[in-house]
Structure 1
Amino acid sequence: MYKRMSAVLFPIVALILIATAYWGYQQYKQKNAVILKAESQYQRAFHDLSYHVEKLHSELGNALAVNSASQGMHRKSLANVWRITSEAQSEINQLPLTLLPFSKTEDFLSHISNFSYKASMRDMTKEPLSKDEMKMLKTLYSNSEQISNDLQKVQATALKNNLRWLDVEQVMASKTQKLDNSIIDGFKTVDKKVGNYPEINWGPAVASVYSKRSVTMLSGQNATKEEIKKKASTFLGDHKITDVKVVENGAKTEYASYSVTGKRKDTQTVVHLDYTKRGGHLISYMDTRDIGAKKISKDQAMEAAQKFLNEHNYPEMVPVSYDEYDNIGSTIFAHKQQGIIFYPERITVRIALDNGEVTGIQASDYEYKKHVFDKKNTKPKLSVEQARKYLNPDLKERFNRLVMIENELGKPTLCYEFVGDVNSATYRIYLNANTGMEENIEELKGMKQKNPAS
């Protein structure tokens, strides 16, 4: 009997063992293939990074080698610098450096990228590189040479000792191992040197990209918790809200603010509000209640949002865009004064489409920007008819209006906004109202409405 069972079971067990061994071998091969692919990608990104930093140094040298009045060559070289730094930044993002302090080098490349892009995009026949910018290019040329040499040393060490990037990733992810890998040490050295570079004056165009909002942009004196509680109760309606609580954030810093919470009596859901400490300005409001099925139209939602802003003392706000998602209407309003729409002074209003109730606003742009723009000197040098001559003659214009925007250099710029159709698509084009130059252009997906501000 046992012989018969053995005769039957032995080949079955043998087949199971063989299948298990084969499966294990296949898993082993797949694992090794994944590891090999990951390591190859890391190696490629690292070597490309070293190559592009070396090219960056070379291209900065080209910009310095030509005559200071050579606008065409400067534009070409700076465009190449922007392209090369963008590629270098992409390669850094492909390396396992998230746990490694390499932020100063990334920030340095980001500043170079922004400067080179903005400089190459401007009209150098009217605004050539200044003496300060040429001086800065010399500094960047010297700094990039040092970074390139240091990266090449890391590259040489990695090749000589056959170091793997997967080991780097493992060491950085480990909380017990010491960071003594040669590649890690090399990148830490590079970043430390970059951090010790003298401060560079990047100019206002680049500085505007990295500038933080300051309390100096706000009006009024510092508000107390009691004043904020009163403001919030008035905004929400004393008869509708209970348990109003105020918490100060960032106390004793210039970015101090207040967070307010309360509970609706009817739905028992929580509402949140945020105020600036300087001036006690409301910058956001959110009601967390669940939204039911859609029952109101877009026009009704926009009308409800407009009424809400009027009731809460936001004067002369006009709708400039509308979108819907999850039974919520979202409308962006911008401040309109003297016939001009100031786009940076905007408020986003969130409307529940089940009953038209406003359940949220975002007003930080409005509060921080409303005192920035000069509302007096806003007369355009070009008429709308003169500006229209700078458009593509094939554009079928829907409407136009006078607006204030912030251009790529962060400067307030008076523009004519033209919306029209060309090549089976709808575009919004901003033409400088003083020069006719194109400041910006964007395609509008699925736009069907007429002038929302008219």
Structure 2
Amino acid sequence: MKDKKWMLSLTLGLVLVAALGFWGYRQADARRTMEAALNNKYQRAFYDLTTHVQNMEVLLSKTLVGQETRQDTFLLMNLWQEADAAQKELGQIPVPDGLMTRTMKYLTQVGDYANTLAKQTIDGKPKTDEQWRTLRYLYSQSSGLNEELHNIESHVADGRLTLSELTTQTRKGLRKEGPQLANNNLQTLDKKMQQFPTLIYDGPFSDHLADKKPLGITGDSINADQARSKALGFIDRRGNKDYVANVVHTQKGRTPSYQVDITSCPVRENERITAAISRQGGNVLWMLNSRAIGDKKVSLESAGDRAAKFLAGKGFKNMQSTYHEVQDRLAIYNFAATQGGVVLYPDLVKVSVALDTGQVVGFEASNYWDSHRDRKISAPRLTLAQARKKLSPHLEGVSGGRLALIPLSPDTETLTYEFKGNLGKDVFLVYINADNGREERLLRVVDTEEGVLTV
């Protein structure tokens, strides 16, 4: 009898332990799920913060170079909005109120100052020298804080810093160990507010033709067999292999086209070539060879020459290389058409060259076919010297001055003088209207190991 009671007690005890264990596991699992959700929320706020601060730094730099009040109004209003958005995202990150006081104050000052100056420029009043110096000070603060925010971002990315843990550190460690944690975490951010750059590559002008009827697509309609022949004649062939092509899809939309798949004979592993051929005129809109790219053996200079020769061989005449980038053993070059010595930035073509063999494995000409035609370009009313005088006196080392046609809207193009200049270590492109001297565009140039980019 005693043995039965003992066994019953043991069984009940084991059941209770198992139940407690299962409950504990469920609680721990629920806690992990909640922590993961919180961490995702905080990470999203952090990454959005860095994006807004990045945009602030770029806009501040442009206000220093810009000379037109109309351009200043646009830049300052955007700066105000970015600063306000950055404040909201910073408020979502779980740190003590006192820890980020200076950072929040900085964001507030930038936003308020931008709002004040925007109202001034709306009335046509240019920036004074004192206001320019204030903007220069705010800019130097933002650009000087780049390294710390990037450092924090890298810690978050590789798991060394989990933002959800700050909810407990806020109450425990951060106040007690503030100086120590400042070396690696968010207290340093309060001293240095920064942004890691999201560099926009695609040439300086590219996203301007979303709904415009293609102007370069002319001629008679072609059939599927003709589309196959066009595609086979366009690809960059290597070796003695033959290729076969099949039309696999017809695309409607703004530029109706045939999608053509091309394979080698015998079939090369992991290689597939796809091209889009316009139904009107039989123009190659884009081409992509998806083969694996081996180790780099071709220099960027040789790859650029190969891209230029490929374009010329396919009938693209009077093209000028503008910008390039490198993406994992793939060099991508932008070319703009020229007419009478004027660079036509709306007419862009992109050529991708594999750096193992120099083969052209990518081609994209949507912008070119959207815009290209013979234009009537009037002679500029301003001389180069007159246009140069319209530049900000704060811009240093000014060079260039070539004529360039740039898009202002889907239906508007403007002839400008393109100048290059420096503000400290930063390089800018400034586009001055060749007829009235108005500053039309400001672009910041970033020269990296991956290529020349613009923001």
Name the TM-score, length of structure 2 as normaliser. Answer: 0.55
Q: CA deviation at 1:434?
A: 1.3
Q: Per the alignment, do residues 25 and 261 of structure 1 end up closer, same or farther by CA in structure 2, a change over 3 Å counting?
A: closer
Alignment length (residue pairs) = 300
User: What SS does structure 1 have at the residue aligned with 2:390?
Assistant: coil
Amino acid of the structure 2 residue aligned with 1:416:
Y
> Which residue of structure 1 lines up, in the alignment, with residue 291 of structure 2?
289
Amino acid of the structure 1 residue aligned with 2:386:
Q
Amino acid of the structure 1 residue aligned with 2:331:
G
Q: Per the alignment, do residues 325 and 255 of structure 1 end up closer, same or farther by CA in structure 2, a change over 3 Å counting?
A: closer
Amino acid of the structure 1 residue aligned with 2:378:
T
Q: CA deviation at 1:243?
A: 2.3
Q: Note if contact 1:432-1:439 (Cα within 8 Å) is conserved in structure 2.
A: yes
Q: Per the alignment, do residues 422 and 276 of structure 1 end up closer, same or farther by CA in structure 2, a change over 3 Å counting?
A: same
> Which residue of structure 1 lines up, in the alignment, with residue 397 of structure 2?
396
Q: Note if contact 1:426-1:447 (Cα within 8 Å) is conserved in structure 2.
A: no
Q: CA deviation at 1:363?
A: 1.1
Among 340, 344, 347, the residue aligned to 1:345: 347
Q: CA deviation at 1:211?
A: 5.5
Amino acid of the structure 1 residue aligned with 2:229:
K
> Which residue of structure 1 lines up, in the alignment, with residue 324 of structure 2?
322
Q: Per the alignment, do residues 34 and 293 of structure 1 end up closer, same or farther by CA in structure 2, a change over 3 Å counting?
A: closer
Where relative contact order (Cα < 8 A, 6+ residues apart) is larger, the structure is 2
Identity of aligned residues (%): 24
Q: Note if contact 2:325-2:451 (Cα within 8 Å) is conserved in structure 1.
A: no
Q: Per the alignment, do residues 243 and 414 of structure 1 end up closer, same or farther by CA in structure 2, a change over 3 Å counting?
A: same
Separation (CA, whole Å) in 1 of partners of 2:33 and 2:261: 51
Q: Note if contact 2:416-2:434 (Cα within 8 Å) is conserved in structure 1.
A: yes
Q: Note if contact 2:419-2:429 (Cα within 8 Å) is conserved in structure 1.
A: yes
Amino acid of the structure 2 residue aligned with 1:445:
V
Q: Note if contact 1:321-1:332 (Cα within 8 Å) is conserved in structure 2.
A: yes
User: What SS does structure 1 have at the residue aligned with 2:362?
Assistant: strand
Question: CA deviation digits over 1:422-449, x for unaligned, max 9?
Answer: 1321111111111222211121122699
Question: CA deviation digits over 1:394-436, x for unaligned, max 9?
Answer: 3222433211110157510111111221132111111111122
Q: CA deviation at 1:24?
A: 4.2
Separation (CA, whole Å) in 2 of partners of 1:309 and 1:209: 23
Tell me whether 440-449 or 336-345 shows the greater mean CA deviation. Answer: 440-449
Q: Per the alignment, do residues 324 and 33 of structure 1 end up closer, same or farther by CA in structure 2, a change over 3 Å counting?
A: closer
How does 1:169-248 map onto structure 2 within 5 Å?
212-214=211-213, 218-236=217-235, 240-248=241-249
> Which residue of structure 2 lines up, in the alignment, with residue 275 of structure 1?
277
> Which residue of structure 2 lines up, in the alignment, with residue 436 of structure 1?
437
Amino acid of the structure 1 residue aligned with 2:260:
V
Q: Per the alignment, do residues 18 and 266 of structure 1 end up closer, same or farther by CA in structure 2, a change over 3 Å counting?
A: closer
User: What SS does structure 2 have at the residue aligned with 1:446?
Assistant: strand
User: What SS does structure 1 have at the residue aligned with 2:447?
Assistant: coil
User: What SS does structure 1 have at the residue aligned with 2:258?
Assistant: strand
Tell me whether 351-360 or 430-439 shows the greater mean CA deviation. Answer: 430-439
Q: CA deviation at 1:232?
A: 2.2
Q: Note if contact 1:267-1:289 (Cα within 8 Å) is conserved in structure 2.
A: no
Q: Per the alignment, do residues 31 and 309 of structure 1 end up closer, same or farther by CA in structure 2, a change over 3 Å counting?
A: closer
Separation (CA, whole Å) in 2 of partners of 1:264 and 1:33: 51
Separation (CA, whole Å) in 1 of partners of 2:289 and 2:38: 51
Separation (CA, whole Å) in 2 of partners of 1:29 and 1:243: 57
Question: CA deviation digits over 1:255-298, x for unaligned, max 9?
Answer: 42111122124762321111111111111111122110111111
> Which residue of structure 2 lines up, in the alignment, with residue 360 of structure 1?
362
Amino acid of the structure 1 residue aligned with 2:285:
I
Separation (CA, whole Å) in 1 of partners of 2:209 and 2:345: 20
Q: Per the alignment, do residues 282 and 409 of structure 1 end up closer, same or farther by CA in structure 2, a change over 3 Å counting?
A: closer
> Which residue of structure 2 lines up, in the alignment, with residue 204 of structure 1?
none
Separation (CA, whole Å) in 2 of partners of 1:343 and 1:210: 12
Separation (CA, whole Å) in 2 of partners of 1:400 and 1:391: 11
> Which residue of structure 1 lines up, in the alignment, with residue 23 of structure 2?
21
Q: CA deviation at 1:215?
A: 5.3
Q: Note if contact 1:241-1:262 (Cα within 8 Å) is conserved in structure 2.
A: no
Q: Note if contact 1:233-1:244 (Cα within 8 Å) is conserved in structure 2.
A: yes
Q: CA deviation at 1:250?
A: 4.0
> Which residue of structure 2 lines up, in the alignment, with residue 196 of structure 1?
none
Q: CA deviation at 1:16?
A: 4.8
Q: Note if contact 2:381-2:434 (Cα within 8 Å) is conserved in structure 1.
A: yes
Q: Note if contact 2:324-2:451 (Cα within 8 Å) is conserved in structure 1.
A: no
Question: CA deviation digits over 1:97-136, x for unaligned, max 9?
Answer: xxxxxxxxxxxxxxxxxxxxxxx99x9999xxxxxxxxxx
> Which residue of structure 2 lines up, in the alignment, with residue 377 of structure 1?
377
Name the TM-score, length of structure 1 as normaliser. Answer: 0.55
> Which residue of structure 2 lines up, in the alignment, with residue 180 of structure 1?
none
User: What SS does structure 2 have at the residue aligned with 1:299?
Assistant: helix
User: What SS does structure 2 have at the residue aligned with 1:296?
Assistant: coil
User: What SS does structure 2 have at the residue aligned with 1:391?
Assistant: coil
Q: Note if contact 2:215-2:372 (Cα within 8 Å) is conserved in structure 1.
A: no
Question: CA deviation digits over 1:38-86, x for unaligned, max 9?
Answer: 9xxxxxxxxxxxxxxxxxxxxxxxxxxxxxxxxx9xx99xx79x97xx9
Q: Per the alignment, do residues 22 and 391 of structure 1 end up closer, same or farther by CA in structure 2, a change over 3 Å counting?
A: same
Q: Per the alignment, do residues 415 and 231 of structure 1 end up closer, same or farther by CA in structure 2, a change over 3 Å counting?
A: same
Q: CA deviation at 1:231?
A: 2.0
5+ residue gaps, structure 2: 41-69, 89-117, 125-206
> Which residue of structure 2 lines up, in the alignment, with residue 67 of structure 1?
none
Separation (CA, whole Å) in 2 of partners of 1:36 and 1:346: 44
Tell me whether 215-224 or 5-14 shows the greater mean CA deviation. Answer: 5-14
Q: Note if contact 1:330-1:351 (Cα within 8 Å) is conserved in structure 2.
A: yes
5+ residue gaps, structure 1: 39-71, 91-119, 127-207
Amino acid of the structure 2 residue aligned with 1:219:
T
